[in-house]
Amino acid sequence: MSDQKAAVMEMAATVSSAASKTTYAGAASGFVAYLASIDVLAWLGIAIALGGFAVNWYYKRLENKRADEIHKLKVEQWEKYYDVKQD
């Protein structure tokens, strides 16, 4: 795997991790603001949680695509190396 692809995969994992933490923080702050009857902060917390969820979903989807591509390449390599054909 090239250095560029490794860097992109590492960046995607980092962004995904940050998005997860942002989602949890937004949800928690929204819940606390709701309990404290601060409507503006409750809605802001919900918006942050939804934004974090969307970013996390996007980068997880990219990560899954890359994993599928890598799997297909490995299967092709194995088929060539072992001279095996699937039914």
Q: Of the ranges 4-18, 36-50, 57-71, which one carries the lowest mean pLDDT score?
A: 4-18
| pLDDT of amino acid 87 | 61
Percent of the chain topping pLDDT 70: 87
Rounded to 5 degrees, what angle do the CA atoms 21, 71, 18 make? 10
Q: What is the mean pLDDT of the chain?
A: 78
pLDDT band at 79 (very low <50, low <70, confident <90, very high): confident
Could you tell me which residues come within 8 angstroms of residue 23 by beta carbon, excluding any fewer than 6 positions away? 48, 49, 52, 53, 56
Alpha carbon 35 to its chain centroid, in Å, reads 30
